[in-house]
Structure 1
Amino acid sequence: MRGVDRRNFLRLTVVGAGATAFTGGLWQSAFAGPAQPGAGPYGPLGAVDANGLRLPQGFTSRVIARSMKEVAGTGYVWHAAPDGGACFPDGDGWIYVSNSEVPLVGGVSAVRFAADGTIVDAYRTLSMTQINCAGGATPWGTWLSCEEYDYGCVYETDPYGRNAAKKRSAMGRFKHEAAACDPVRKVVYLTEDQSDGCFYRFVPKVWGDLSAGTLEVLVGSGPGEVGWKQVPQPQLWLTAPRDQVAGALRFKGGEGCYYSDGVCYFTTKGDNRVWAYDAVNGVLGIAYDDDLVEGGGAPLTGVDNITGTPGGDLYVAEDGADMEINLITPEGVVTPFLRLEGHPDSEITGPAFSPDGTRLYFSSQRGSDGVILGTGGVTYEVRGPFRS
């Protein structure tokens, strides 16, 4: 199908699905059309700073960790290939956790900050796991670290380093990517990094305890009304979970996942889309698609990890492309928020805000040298006047 025709077809599909409007704060009118380029709330990107970042006026950056080097003042060596991450409150300070996407040793590390942002500690919370990619925070203060291989598991870890990590096999064994908790419906949404992957939700028997429950897969015919069906054999299987249920919706490489106000947003790298699942009404829509961008080139490609703010802004990291984090506003505007120069063979991973919303953390997984095992990875902090 020719480009213009395909764009028109996709737009009609999305708009035609919109009998029910989204309930979430970000996309009250999601089916009016996916996000389009425009001027962002922070203005244009400035010149490259000392850390290689181009940021809007009023924002500053610092490097907090480098792979295979000690985190300043802690004696702890930061892991290779930093990937998914999240922040957790810690008294007057906070903690940033980060996965390590390498084989055999994988796991999770954490950095602890004082109230003024000073780094006071760094340590391991999970070791000897495989290709820990993304994950998600839980409402009860744990981090779900997801293994990205065919028989991978979800591990529930303690960001504070007090309790041992626990394997949560009931959440399914597949090529996990990210997780997002929905405290209203008491489920955990899960993405799958396969070219024909699925979108899942785990329904625990007891909310707050992920040791037992039911894994379900999203079913339907595409954007519009969708439903859920139970995966018969999520743990021990000869047929992969994504192939066990007739009518399961397929997605081209599931990546990041973020829940807010009744809507779960997730990204797919194979078609550069940000999807929006309206959990209240059981409706699936497309919040962003680079094929639906009008009037020029798409500002956001290589979609990957995703996070958001209480005010409804989404922040989407790029795997390669321009090495940007793009902002999608509640008004449906997509625009670059930052760009990292000099890292052409890397990807941006692990975007997460400090609990007070004034600092954004993320990593360049392979750094400027682009080594596949990420020994040159760099983890950054951006500070500035983020809107709430």
Structure 2
Amino acid sequence: MSPGPRLPRRTLLKASAALALPWLLGRCGLPENEEGLRLDPDGILDLPEGFRYRILERRGDRMSDGFRVPGQPDGMGCFAGPPGSNTLVLMRNHELEPGQDSLSPYTQDQGRPAQAYRPADNSPGGVSRVVVDATSFERVSSNLVLVGSSRNCAGGASPWGWLTCEESVTEGHGYVFLCDPLADSLQDAVRIPALGKMNHEAAVVDPTSFIAYLTEDRSDGCFYRFVPESPGERLGLESRGRLQALRIEAEPRRDMNAGVEPGATFRADWVDLPRPGAEDDSLRAQGAARGAALFRRGEGLFFHEGSVYFCATTGGPESGGQIWRYTPEGLQGGMLQLLAQSRDRGVLDMPDNLCVAPWGDVVMAEDGADPRWPDEHLRILTPSGQVKNLARNAMGGGELAGVCLSPDGRALFVNMQGDGMTLVITGPFQQYTGTGL
């Protein structure tokens, strides 16, 4: 098998030095072409030599509870299964909204279940659960956990389970929901109004401070946090606390898209939102009025070793994406740093979901919209500043999403959204990136 089409020989994405990991300032090595990715004879996913994938589920497959696997799989998280079970649990979002009945979890003989959120809306969005063997990574079972929400895009881990986010602000929607990874049947929706109504993308909780961080998929969005009144208390309908937006101390209302180079570091603090429960999609305007920083389409979000990593999907000089990291220093504020940004959409095309490996690699899933570069990839940014191709969608360039690693780092799970598939990738990840050797 031969490698696929070549990418331009340019060094146009830069990575920076970071505060806790040995990132390198200046230029980093870039994937000059598709060398190292082998063409998949089945035309699904191209991978490096020594790597392989398995399809866990496809949309329309019958799940263990009788529902169908919904379409448009998006954000996803990996959790340990029940004690003693030797299983892992994937919590999988489905970015569906009213009118997409053909991709819904319902068969022709199934009506709307009693547990559906806002059943009159007829939204097929929600969360499904896939159980896999922790040794072989083979599928064990699957079931629906949440249904009736709308445009469940990304999410994140919390000490109490999976936080799934609605990328919608229609009536009754625009919230974060908590889903139990151990729920083997459909559950009632657990909505968390304290995390605000907005065009949510992702949410994650610092397991030490119990502060929740949130991204907003808007071209003039903010980066948010929720500081609970009672740290450690399970998030839910009655949660109380302060919803805040990040501000650059020295430059209120700083546009983080303009004039920022990798390695740039900013001291940041947080401003309270005066109407955190607003139903009018005004949170970012409230933040801006109080000096909050502006990010271009905040999306993927991941907590790793005391820091929060997130994407600004259309940030940077070519709107090709930025990777940021926020490291708290006490309760009042912390340091924000630009780790990398794209200067050529052919090198990095709008990173969306991301995760950080135990050894420090950042895995980025592309969701590009540039017709000059239709193929979507998984890219790896290593702590040494190297960027490598990990995979390419060989089915026509649809979005890759939901990247998450097993706790031991032996398997990477990913969704092919438009193609409606959930896959597991195995292989010598650390040897491939040269990390930790």
Using structure 2 for the length normalisation, give the TM-score.
0.75
TM-superposition CA deviations, 1:75-94 (whole Å, max 9, x none): 54111110000111113111
Amino acid across the alignment from 1:340: N
Contact 1:23 1:263 survives alignment (8 Å): no
Q: Does 1:205 align with 2:229?
A: yes
Match of 1:107 in 2: 126
Runs (4+) of structure 1 exceeding 3 A deviation are 33-36, 73-76, 162-165
User: Which range moves more in the overlay, 52-61 or 274-283?
Assistant: 274-283
Match of 1:173 in 2: 197
- Aligned residue for 2:194, secondary structure, equals helix
Amino acid across the alignment from 1:226: A
- The residue correspondences of 1:152-231 to structure 2 (distance < 5 A) are 152-161=174-183, 164-206=188-230, 207-210=232-235, 211-220=239-248, 221=251, 222=254, 223-231=265-273
- Aligned residue for 2:91, secondary structure, equals strand
Q: Does 1:261 align with 2:285?
A: no
Match of 1:379 in 2: 422
Q: Does 1:86 align with 2:105?
A: no
Contact 1:350 1:362 survives alignment (8 Å): yes
For the residues of structure 2 that align with 1:147 and 1:254, how far apart are their CA atoms? Answer: 14
TM-superposition CA deviations, 1:229-270 (whole Å, max 9, x none): 111112234460111132111111111001112221111122
- The residue correspondences of 1:1-388 to structure 2 (distance < 5 A) are 22-24=18-20, 26=21, 28-29=22-23, 32-33=25-26, 36-37=29-30, 44-50=36-42, 52-71=44-63, 75-90=66-81, 91-103=85-97, 104-115=123-134, 116-140=136-160, 142-150=161-169, 152-161=174-183, 164-206=188-230, 207-210=232-235, 211-220=239-248, 221=251, 222=254, 223-238=265-280, 240-245=282-287, 246-271=290-315, 272-280=321-329, 282-291=334-343, 298-320=346-368, 321-344=374-397, 346-367=398-419, 377-387=420-430
TM-superposition CA deviations, 1:139-193 (whole Å, max 9, x none): 34x0000000135000000111166441011011101001122223331110000
Task: State the shift of 1:357 in Å.
Answer: 1.7
- Aligned residue for 1:80, secondary structure, equals coil
Contact 1:171 1:213 survives alignment (8 Å): no
For the residues of structure 1 that align with 2:87 and 2:336, how far apart are their CA atoms? Answer: 38
Amino acid across the alignment from 1:386: F
Amino acid across the alignment from 1:93: T
For the residues of structure 1 that align with 2:146 and 2:26, how far apart are their CA atoms? Answer: 42
- Aligned residue for 1:196, secondary structure, equals coil
TM-superposition CA deviations, 1:312-344 (whole Å, max 9, x none): 011000014521000000011112111111223
Amino acid across the alignment from 2:429: F
Amino acid across the alignment from 1:89: A
Contact 1:74 1:120 survives alignment (8 Å): no
The 1:253–1:51 alpha-carbon spacing in structure 2 relative to 1, beyond 3 Å, is: same
Contact 1:35 1:288 survives alignment (8 Å): no
Contact 1:39 1:333 survives alignment (8 Å): no
Amino acid across the alignment from 2:37: L
Q: How many residues align?
A: 354
Using structure 1 for the length normalisation, give the TM-score.
0.84
Match of 2:258 in 1: none
For the residues of structure 1 that align with 2:281 and 2:174, how far apart are their CA atoms? Answer: 15
For the residues of structure 1 that align with 2:215 and 2:242, how far apart are their CA atoms? Answer: 16
The 1:178–1:34 alpha-carbon spacing in structure 2 relative to 1, beyond 3 Å, is: farther
Task: State the shift of 1:63 in Å.
Answer: 1.1
For the residues of structure 2 that align with 1:76 and 1:35, how far apart are their CA atoms? Answer: 47
Task: State the shift of 1:365 in Å.
Answer: 0.8
Task: State the shift of 1:118 in Å.
Answer: 3.0
Contact 1:87 1:97 survives alignment (8 Å): yes
Amino acid across the alignment from 2:293: L
- Aligned residue for 1:107, secondary structure, equals strand
For the residues of structure 2 that align with 1:34 and 1:170, how far apart are their CA atoms? Answer: 42
Unaligned runs of 5+ in 1: 1-6, 16-20, 368-376
For the residues of structure 2 that align with 1:340 and 1:124, how far apart are their CA atoms? Answer: 26
For the residues of structure 2 that align with 1:192 and 1:308, how far apart are their CA atoms? Answer: 20
The 1:117–1:83 alpha-carbon spacing in structure 2 relative to 1, beyond 3 Å, is: same
- Aligned residue for 2:284, secondary structure, equals helix
Contact 1:201 1:216 survives alignment (8 Å): yes
Match of 1:373 in 2: none
Identity value in percent: 34
Contact 1:23 1:262 survives alignment (8 Å): no
User: Which range moves more in the overlay, 171-180 or 206-215?
Assistant: 206-215
Task: State the shift of 1:51 in Å.
Answer: 5.2
Unaligned runs of 5+ in 2: 1-10, 98-122, 255-264, 316-320, 369-373, 431-435
